[in-house]
Structure 1
Amino acid sequence: MSGSDPKPKPMPAVDTKTRILQAAFRTLATQGYAALSVREIAKDAGVNHALINYHFGTKDRLVIAVLDEANRRLLERQRRMYASPGGFAQKWAQARAFYEDDLASGFVRVQAELYSASLSNVELREQFLPRIRAWKGVVLEAVREALRMHAPRLPEGFDAEAIATLISEFWLGMEFARLIGGDEERVRHEPALDAIGRMLSALEASATSPRGVASDTATRRGGARRRR
């Protein structure tokens, strides 16, 4: 290098943090939380391990930052999907496609690793649970919107909260089973996922058909007469 060559500029802190987060994500997705080593993450990121302590403080804060970075993008993706035009059967199909993407990217494994580690790590659990609840909140809002649009007649107590709980807890259980059982579990899950898609399609069809609209109108009128 000649004396006239400019000195290389130091790498911005944001780039360093991004590289650390990406390296930690790769480690969580391939080796798991138990194998997470600050030194190995630093080596993968090409930084001094002291920089991890500087930016994140502890290993648990680092993994929560990893989850936050992924969650921020994925929750926004879900919100955009539910706010977009189209029926809920179409959005259910899109959610399934997102699920396959998240399996391939390693996000499902990362989330499962933190879920498991939270069982015995109180500090991590206190940070992890609000992130999971944020996703459940997105599911609840989508269910409320679906019920508002289609107003199906449901058994007492089978409200938006109950339906959203069934969906979100089923989804989490499905993710864990898929991680462990692979394609064998996928084959078992697909008929149930297909059935929900057909149910949503039927619900939308009945709500938009002349007979469905007339029936709904008659039901509401009957209810109004009974209240008089």
Structure 2
Amino acid sequence: MTSKSAALSATSKLHDGDATQTRERILDAAFRRLVSEGYAALSIREIARDAGVNHALINYHYRSKDQLVIEVLDAVNQRLLSRQTALYESGGSFAQKWASARRFYESDLASGFVRLQAELWAASLSNPGLREKFLPRLMAWKKLVLGAVREAIAALQASGTQLPPPFTPEVIACWVSEFWLGMEFANLLDVKEEQAQHRAALDAVGWLLESLDAKVAKTV
């Protein structure tokens, strides 16, 4: 490689690195604005100011406000889905995995991710373009939940316990995911009188999974 080609290559890599850092600053600033102020009040100019860039640069990278917020969701969601997948595929009992999922939720609530997801859900009700982008991300999480429930039901059946036909993995996964989403909205609205009930419901599922673990252990 000639010295001129090497210099061009080094410059290109430097620019690529700068562009990546710029995008990260923009996504981080947009995430903080979404969590603190919500989707409706989101301002590209304020995000640009927080990120230390010209607002035209955000339009260049993301083309629209909706595309920006979906990129924000993806930046966080991919990491969390990978975390959930690793949890479900790891060793350990079903009750231990449930306990880990509860700790993850508390962390996601504190970080603002739960607020971010709820903001985009609400905005999607009146924004078909955003809804088209948002729903596949939500369904990916529900698919993970269904996979975990199928594994638990298979273990229960292998231990000699058969559930009646109405209690399919799809039905039980629906209960789990829809309860969880409802709990998220109640927590975001700070409905304190329901928080104890939520904890009791989560504890009850943990107890059921401990019973399942005991059955599996006996079978083995």
Superposition TM-score, scaled by structure 1 size: 0.85
Task: Map 1:47-58; keep pairs closer than 5 Å.
Answer: 47-58=53-64
Matched, 1:200 2:209: yes
C-alpha offsets along residues 68-122 of structure 1, whole Å, 9 cap, x if unaligned?
Answer: 1111000000000011110111000000000000000000000000000000000
Match of 1:219 in 2: none
Aligned counterparts of 2:166 and 2:196: Cα–Cα separation in 1: 32
Matched, 1:39 2:42: no
More displaced stretch, 178-187 vs 159-168: 178-187
Matched, 1:178 2:187: yes
Aligned counterparts of 2:171 and 2:24: Cα–Cα separation in 1: 39
Q: Which runs of 4+ in 1 moved over 4 A?
A: none
3-state SS in 2 of match to 1:35: coil
Matched, 1:162 2:171: yes
Amino acid at match of 2:52: G
C-alpha offsets along residues 127-172 of structure 1, whole Å, 9 cap, x if unaligned?
Answer: 0000000000111111111112221421212111111111111111
Compute the displacement of 1:186 (Å).
2.3
Amino acid at match of 2:211: A
Provide the identity percentage: 60
Compute the displacement of 1:208 (Å).
2.2
Match of 1:113 in 2: 119
Match of 2:101 in 1: 95
Matched, 1:142 2:142: no
Match of 1:104 in 2: 110
Amino acid at match of 1:38: I
Compute the displacement of 1:183 (Å).
4.2
Match of 1:12 in 2: 18
Contact 2:156 2:162 in 1 (8 A): no
Corresponding pairs, count: 203
Superposition TM-score, scaled by structure 2 size: 0.88
Amino acid at match of 1:37: S
3-state SS in 2 of match to 1:181: coil
Amino acid at match of 1:72: Q
Structure 2 residues not aligned, in runs of 5+:
1-13
Amino acid at match of 1:196: V
Compute the displacement of 1:182 (Å).
5.1
CA-based RMSD: 1.5
Structure 1 residues not aligned, in runs of 5+:
1-8, 215-228
Matched, 1:64 2:70: yes
Aligned counterparts of 1:182 and 1:106: Cα–Cα separation in 2: 17
Aligned counterparts of 2:113 and 2:191: Cα–Cα separation in 1: 15
Select which of 124, 142, 146 maps to 2:130.
124
3-state SS in 1 of match to 2:189: helix
